[in-house]
Amino acid sequence: MTIREALNKMKERFDPEKLAGFEGTFAFEIRDGDPESFAISVKDGSLTIKEEEEAEDANCKIITDLDTFEAIMDGRKSAVTAFMLGKLKVKGDMNYAIRMNSIFFE
């Protein structure tokens, strides 16, 4: 799965009802990915994805490698397991990372 396919999958999984009252920006750094960085913003029940963007104002940043990202997106590995094994790092507000997991990966 390419990064762009994964981003499309995130768009498909997006459920505005799950996000009532939620706003935030998630930055991603995926080593060896194409693109290697992108940002996802949730505001007013809508989702915006910007490729190749470093979101300096992100509430949290997710850092991982392409293999781990693909395994999470395919459901072969949970984001929590990847975090516990040190394969996924979170910078910033951990509560946003937890919310991200429940929005896109469950």
Helices 3-13 and 94-104, packing angle to 10 deg: 80
Q: For residues 90 and 28, give the distance between their C-alpha atoms in angstroms, rounded to a whole number.
A: 10
Rounded to two decimals, the pTM is 0.85
In this predicted structure, what is the pLDDT of residue 54? 64
pLDDT score of 73: 86
**Mean pLDDT in consecutive groups of 10 residues from the start of the chain, 106 residues:** 82 79 89 88 86 77 93 89 95 85 65
What CA–CA distances, in Å, run from 99 to 32, 103, 105?
Answer: 25, 6, 10
Domain that holds residue 88: 3-104
Tell me, what's the pLDDT at 104? Answer: 64
Phi, psi of 2 (to 5 degrees): -80, 165
Our count of domains for the chain comes to 1
Cα–Cα distance between 73 and 11 in angstroms, integer? 12
What is the predicted pLDDT for the residue at 91?
93
Question: Residue 29 is part of a domain; what is its CATH number?
Answer: 3.30.1050.10
Look at residue 8 in the predicted model and tell me its pLDDT. Answer: 86
- In eight-state DSSP terms, residue 52 is T
